[in-house]
Structure formats: structure tokens, C-alpha cells
Amino acid sequence: MFQKIKEATKNNFGFLAIAVLLFWLKTYLAYQLEFSLGVEGLYQQFLLFINPLAATVFFFGLSLYFSNTKSRHRSLVVFYFLNTALLFGNILYYREFSDFVTLKTILGSSAMMGGLSASFFQMLEWRDLLYWVDFFFIVRLYWKYRPSFATKPPVKKRTATAVLISALLIFSANLSLAEIDRPQLLTRTFDRNYIVKYLGINVYTMYDGIQTARANSVRASADGSDLAPVLDYVEQHYTEPNEALFGQAQGRNVVYIHLESMQQFLIDLELQEENGEINAVTPFLNELYHSSDSYSFSNVFHQTAQGKTSDAELLLDNSLFGLAQGSAFTQLGADNIFQAGPQIMKSHGYTNAVFHGNVGSFWNRDNTYKSMGYDYFFSSETSYNLTPENSVEYGLKDKLFFQESIQYLEQLPQPFYSKFITVSNHFPFPADEMNTVFDIPDTEDTTINGYFNTVHYADQALAEFFQYMKESGLYDNTMFVLYGDHFGISNSRNRTLAPLLDQSSVMWGDYDDAMVQRIPLIIHVPGSETGGIQDTFGGQVDILPTVLHLLGVDTSTHIQLGQDLLSSEREQIVAFRNGNVVSPDYTSIGPAVYDTKTGQMIFIDPNNPSELSNEIDHLREAAQQQLHISDQILNGDLLRFYTPSNFERVDKQAISYLDSPQRLRENLEALGFENTSLMGQNNSQSTVDLYQTDAPEFPGNQPLDTNSLLDEESE
């Protein structure tokens, strides 16, 4: 066998054939081990097996155009490395995000790729050696037999072209077979898994590049006439606010708290710790969730895609979806016109600020926030003192973050519209001995073990922050909006998680993966006593109109794609960027349909239309329309052609975040007696000393009893 390999390597096409065969088999192995592509039956399995062949022959065949034989073989080694790097990059990306890398992610989303590099070693598995051993084998063959390459004549150009044509013919056959099983695969695809499953990961990458170029041309060709279908959609889907609740929080401060990687299953979850005690994972959030002053939602889902945290912010501040590919923050944020919550509330006399203990350029926030109308951005460059002891990979630890933010919060003129972005509960959920506060029995997955510890820590940080808000006097005049941004535990880990949720790992399936995408949403209005747990179905796109209506803001002239979660008129259709849809009755995941209440799969005969199949089609079409309208708005920058009533556009040139603390102080001095900040009301006396934290990095502190803080309010 080795003799045959030796002889083949010396042959003009033998080295190419060995490379094609090895990479083809490696790709198929990766399909089986790393990706959940929903392959069903022998036919789809056959398509999965053959789909790497065409692209592999094509790309490796490009090496034949080098006239010099050594250069030809050397270029083949380079092509082999690049294709392996692309495959392995997708493996790591999919392992954490259950998705494939897009061109926009590679070229534009340095934040996402930076996040991957930060947790690179955490994601590696022993089997990853399988994806590189063949490359080193190819390098070994090249190095050993390169002297013999010089004796071989160059390949004729027409022969090289014939190889590429054969690759295209193989692809055409592959596509034809795929179209039999999935008609209009390339024209109606909304799930990247389908492209990879039927045509391969390299074809998907090329397809994604074409789609990206097409999207970039949309903005250049857009004009005001493109806004007509958008306005029609918004008018048809606008829901009147709950009359009894409209304006309930009018004039109050607004504090958004961005709960990094929080999922709804954490609420009321109790686990047995290693010492045998059974304790709640999130005791403070549980109390807040069940408070009569909280509108708490049990069926709200995150709707983020590749933009993850930045997608969540886009949804929350604009009631628009993130892009299907990459992050809107990094691709469009600096240039697009937005009608975001901060700028809307500025028209009502609000000061706007964001607090984040990380660098301002992460997710391009320092540019995108200007487009959204935030007056101040307090980031690690200007406002926080980060050290190796008080920070994690993504910024300042939550307890220190809230404590250090108070010096700026107390100076904000009231009413203010603010957002706190936490980071401690972020993948890979590292074990931090100083802050290890929740010990559960070890699972086989250290990521899951660490998750419950960092979640518990984040819950304690929230309790400390709320205690300060009460002590300082800000609590009673503030509406708090707490929301999870996206999943913390990826789908690839859910089977390990299942027993901790009293579910079966064996029975866990796609339906369960969809249901754990619920995130906490708690709108806390102190003193309202009209709250309760709402079972309405919704997503992050619905939060902004809900908040604005509670603040007494008429949104009927604004372009927002969500619907008030407290309105009786809402449709309760939850759209996801991957094409899945959830409603109170049905859950559509790819071609499969489930009963949302029971999780039972529902059989729908595509060849026999019925009332049920029509209802499912309507559900899917409604979700796709909402996503399409959002894409039209963002890709075409259509909001530049429309200004709602009582709204003033952002002057980005007038906003600078280079030194937000100093600029805030200067603005307060200019206000003089009109200073409405907390410090201004306290005769310039700071309230920072009222903040108590048991963070071990903060010297001299006594541990804070965070249990039953909300009980003080009800007594």
C-alpha cells in the first residue's frame, strides 16, 4: 500500500488524487461528528457523502494551472491548509454557536472572532487531531518526494481546465439530486444547515459570499419608494397598548440590565450542591420574577443570530432583527440611520447612557451607540479600572462593574434611559476561586459546571445593585427592564444539561433545543402592584414597544416590528433567524412541526393540503415576512427616508465618548440649578458610600446578605 502511495505521489495527478480523497473523507467525518444537519434517510446520507467532492476537486484542481511542477505541488499544500483551516474554523464556531461562519463574520466581526480566540483552548477536543493529521501527512509526502517533482512535465492548460469542468459537472449532478429532495434549494433557503447538508461547506461559503455582495448592493440602490411596503407592514401589525397600563411608568428613569447568557430555565431552578444542600441558582431573580411589581414573561425567546449580544441590543433598542449573516453593529452600525429607544426618549427629556466594563470598540459599540442616540458611553478605556484580579475575559466582573458605575449613574440628569451590560456570566464560564459561590455535582462538561457558578455570582451582583438603588432613593422612581441576551448553554451541550432540568438526555431533541431558547424578561415597576407572570409568547423584538407604552410614548408613527407584550391584540408569532417559528399552538423547526404545549411531533402531508397545513404555512410566512421587512430596513438603510412625528434625528457629530465622565461633569456644571441628577438633589454629596458589595477584590467589605431584599418592599 505504501509503495502504491509512493508511486502515486510521484505521478502528475497522484498527489492531487490523494489530497482530494483525504480531504473528502475528512469532511464527511466532520459532518458526522461535529454538525447537526438533520440528515434523514439513505438518500440524504448519500448526498452528504458526495457533496464535498465537487468543491474539493475544483479548489485543489486550481493548483494544476501552475506551470512549474514544484510550484504546482506547493500550491496544493497551501490549498489543502486553507480548506482545512476553513473546515476547522467552522467546527469550532459550530461547537459553540450551532451555526456556520459567514463571510461577514470573518471580515467584519472582529468582536465575535476575538471572543472565539479568547475561549479557543476551552473548545478544543482530543478528536480535533483528526482534522489536522492528514494535512501533516500531505506535507510529509510533499517534502519527501519533492525532488522527483522536478522531473515531471507541466500539466497542459486544457487538462487543468478539464479537471475544473469535471468538478462543475459533479456539482451540477449534486445540485440536481439535491433539488429532488429540496426544491428551490438556493432560491428559498433560510437555513444554512440545508446548504451544507446538500451541497457542502465550501459551496455554502461561496453561496454566502454571493449573498453578502448582493446585500451590499441593496443599500446603494435603495430609495424612498422602498419604504412603502415597510410602512404598510408596520401599520397592519401595530397593536394598541393596554389602556390600563399605558403610561404607568411615565416620567420614571429606565434601567435596562443586560443579563449575559441568562436562560429562562434558571428561574426557580434548585440544585443540590456538593455539601448536600438544595439551593436556588438565582434566588434574587426568582423574587423579582414573582414580585407583584413585576411584569414577568415565561414565554419570551431570544431572537439573536450570529451577532449574539449585539443582535440582542439591536432588538432591544430598535425592535429590528439582526442580520442573517454577521452583526449589524459591525456591518451597518456606524452608517445607518436608526430610530432607537434612546433617541426617542431624548425627545421626552431623557438623558441616555450605556455602562459596559469592556473596551468601547467591542462589537463596534463606540460607533453604533452614536447612531442610536446614546449621550454617554462609559467603557473600560475611560471609566473603569481593570486589573487581572477584578476582570474576566470580557471585562470587569459584575459586582465591581455595578459598584464602579454608581459614580456616573448618580450624576446623570433625571429622567435617564440607561443600560448596564454585564459580562461575568459569559462563555467559557471560567472557574474563579475567589468568586466560587455555587457548587453543584460535577457533570462531564466543565462549561456547564462553570455556568451555574457564574450565574449565581451574577444574581448576587444584581441583588447588591438593587440594594443600592433602594438606599440611594433612585429605586422608587425607576423602571427596571432585565432581559437575557441569548443562550448560555449551546445546543451541543443540552443533552448533558438535561438531567439537571429533570429531563431525559436520551429523549432530548430539536423541540427541546428550541424551548430552552426562552430568556428571562422582567419589567419591574416599583409600587405598581399590578404585575404578574405573563404567559404570552413573544421575542426580544417586542420589548421596545412594550417599554415605550409603559412610559406613555405613542409608537404608532414609529417603525418597529415588534408588538406590545401587554396588548391583547398581539399575534404571538415568534420568528427566528434560522427559519424556525414558535407560537402558543405550534412550533416549526425546519420541515418538522410540533405541538408547542406537549412537544409531540405533528405529521403534515405536503401532498394533501388541509386546514392545519394552511395554518402552519401562514405561521411560517408571517415569520419570514417580519424577517424580510427587517432586512429591507437595515440593508437598504430605509429609515433615512422617514422621520416619525415628535422625533429628532441623531447628530452623530455632536456625540463623543472619548471622555464621557469629564463631559458629564462639564454638562452638569453648565446646568447649574437645573441639575436634576441624584447628586444635584443631594447638594453635590455622593452616594457611592451607600453601595455595599462582598466582592473579594474590593478590600474592607463585609459580606452582604442578599436574601429576600424584595421583602423589605412588601413589609
* CA distances to 10, 14, 56, 142, 487 from 17, in Å: 11, 5, 10, 13, 43
Q: How far apart are CA 526 and CA 621, in angstroms?
A: 40
Q: Which residues fall within 8 angstroms of residue 204, CB to CB, at 6 or more apart?
A: 100, 192, 195, 196
According to DSSP, the β-strands at 351-356 and 376-378 are parallel
Cβ atoms < 10 Å from Cβ of 295: 24
> For the chain, what is the radius of gyration of the CA atoms?
28
Q: What's at 369, amino acid-wise? A: Y
Q: How far apart are CA 477 and CA 469, in angstroms?
A: 10
DSSP letters along 3-50, please? Answer: HHHHHHHHSTTHHHHHHHHHHHHHHHHHHHHH------HHHHHHHHHH
DSSP letters along 94-121, please? Answer: HHHHSS---HHHHHH-HHHHHHHHHTHH
Was 260 annotated as part of a binding site?
yes
Cell of 565: 407584550
Q: What's at 219, amino acid-wise? A: R
Rounded to 5 degrees, what angle do the CA atoms 320, 323, 325 make?
Answer: 170
Q: Which residues fall within 8 angstroms of residue 519, CB to CB, at 6 or more apart?
A: 259, 262, 263, 264, 300, 301, 302, 483, 484, 485, 486, 540
Rounded to 5 degrees, what angle do the CA atoms 445, 446, 451 make?
Answer: 105
* CA distances to 226, 231, 361, 628 from 635, in Å: 11, 16, 22, 10
Closest CA to 370 of 339, 346, 344, 334: 334
Beta-strand (E) ranges in 2-98?
none
Was 485 annotated as part of a binding site?
yes
* CA distances to 26, 88, 124, 132, 432 from 127, in Å: 12, 12, 8, 10, 28
541: left (phi over 0), alpha (psi -120 to 50) or beta: alpha
| Cell 430610530 -> residue | 339
Closest CA to 645 of 546, 709, 555: 555
Cell of 234: 408596520
Please answer whether residues 493 and 445 qualify as being in contact, where contact means their C-beta atoms are separated by less than 8 angstroms. Answer: yes
Was 426 annotated as part of a binding site?
yes
Strand partners for 537: 299
Q: Is 84 among the residues known to form the active site? A: no
From the candidates 56, 84, 105, 309, which is the catalytic residue?
Answer: 309
Please answer whether residues 636 and 320 qualify as being in contact, where contact means their C-beta atoms are separated by less than 8 angstroms. Answer: no
According to DSSP, the β-strands at 253-259 and 416-421 are parallel
Was 208 annotated as part of a binding site?
no
Q: How far apart are CA 90 and CA 35, in angstroms?
A: 9
Q: How far apart are CA 100 and CA 202, in angstroms?
A: 11
Was 410 annotated as part of a binding site?
no
Looking at residue 595, what DSSP letter applies? E
Instruction: Give the CB-side neighbour count of residue 174, counting CA atoms within 13 A.
Output: 25
DSSP letters along 392-418, please? Answer: ETTEE-HHHHHHHHHHHHTTSPSSEEE
Q: Binding site residues for substrate, as ranges?
A: 426
Q: Binding site residues for Mn(2+), as ranges?
A: 260, 309, 485-486
Residues designated catalytic: 309
